Amino acid sequence: AQTVTQSQPEMSVQEAETVTLSCTYDTSENNYYLFWYKQPPSRQMILVIRQEAYKQQNATENRFSVNFQKAAKSFSLKISDSQLGDTAMYFCAFMKGWMEYGNKLVFGAGTILRVKS
Amino acid sequence: KAGVTQTPRYLIKTRGQQVTLSCSPISGHRSVSWYQQTPGQGLQFLFEYFSETQRNKGNFPGRFSGRQFSNSRSEMNVSTLELGDSALYLCASSLAERGEDEQFFGPGTRLTVL
């Protein structure tokens, strides 16, 4: 079974600074996807960034980027120029890549990020 | 384009009752997944439906069931409610068959069991 571990229950960062959230996962699969989701106080889950395991290049989306280390099974999220609106719970998630497994996401426990002004 | 909608948004039930939650996916999306979110267990996968067929199922008791209709709308049912079923229930819809396309989440249904 796949597991996702987020070792930082809470983090805080000053506005405009950079913060990195950690995530490790365990799988024997070679074809999979990794995601970071954001859940603000409204509880609406929003996809932040996605990484395909077969791609060596790290994904980036504006101020958000990942450091994907496949051999180490590590998938950290870097948020640059933090903004107050980034305050949320962040979840790391894993999905197997084969069609027969469907769209099942396995989530980590989450990291609460607080951006301070 | 309208997002994923879930009804009702809030629900209060008592132990032993049953409840039905509804999820309307984004138009054109054929995959609907359900998740339970609790402070203690976090986010856990319940099941996924694709083209009216259950494609995947999480580790939940048989009291939790679901179905999908021909218009891709999905319902989940919980029978004989227990206090531990109090949770935020999220559904997510997706266009593609795998993870290439984004899963869009609904706002959730907050179920409280008294």
Mutate: best of B5, B34, B43, partner A, most A CBs <10 A? B43
Give yes or no for residue B99 having a pLDDT over 80: no
Q: What is the DSSP string of B87-110?
A: EEEEEEEESSSSTTSPPEE---EE
- Scanning A70-109 for CB atoms below 8 A from B yields 91, 95, 97-99, 101-109
Q: Is A45 on the interface with B (CB under 8 A)?
A: yes
Give the model confidence (pLDDT) of A15-64 as tens digits.
999 999 999 999 998 889 999 999 999 999 999 999 999 888 999 999 99
Reported as a pLDDT band with limits 50, 70 and 90, residue B96 is low
Strand A111-116 versus strand A10-14 pairing type: parallel
The pair of three-digit structure tokens given for residue A83, joined into one six-digit string: 């903004």
> Nearest CA to A93 among B30, B33, B40, B53?
B33
B40: amino acid identity, one letter: G
Question: How far is the CA of B79 from the CAs of B13, B23, B53, B85, B91, in angstroms?
Answer: 11, 18, 21, 10, 18
DSSP secondary structure letter of residue A45: -
Give the model confidence (pLDDT) of B33-59 as tens digits.
999 999 999 999 999 999 899 988 999
Give the model confidence (pLDDT) of A54-101 as tens digits.
888 999 999 999 999 999 999 999 999 999 999 999 999 999 877 667
Give yes or no for residue B104 having a pLDDT over 90: yes
User: How many C-beta atoms lie closer than 10 Å to residue A68's C-beta?
Assistant: 20
- Partners of A106 in beta bridges: A94
Q: Is A33 on the interface with B (CB under 8 A)?
A: yes
DSSP secondary structure letter of residue A96: E
Q: Which residue of A has its CA nearest to B4?
A: A44
Reported as a pLDDT band with limits 50, 70 and 90, residue A3 is very high
Helices and strands counted in chain B (H then E): 0, 11
B3: amino acid identity, one letter: G
Give the model confidence (pLDDT) of B5-40 as tens digits.
999 999 999 999 999 999 999 999 999 999 999 999
CB contacts, 8 Å: B31 with chain A: 102-103
pLDDT value of position A103: 82
Give the nearest partner residue to A102 out of B43, B50, B108, using CB atoms. B50
Give the nearest partner residue to A102 out of B44, B48, B104, using CB atoms. B48
Give the model confidence (pLDDT) of B69-92 as tens digits.
999 999 999 999 999 999 999 999
List strand residue ranges (DSSP E) for chain B, in order: 5-7, 10-13, 19-24, 31-38, 42-50, 53-57, 64-68, 74-78, 87-94, 104-105, 109-113
Asked if B103 lies within 8 A of A109 by C-beta distance, the reply is no
CB contacts, 8 Å: B102 with chain A: 47, 50
Give yes or no for residue A4 having a pLDDT over 70: yes
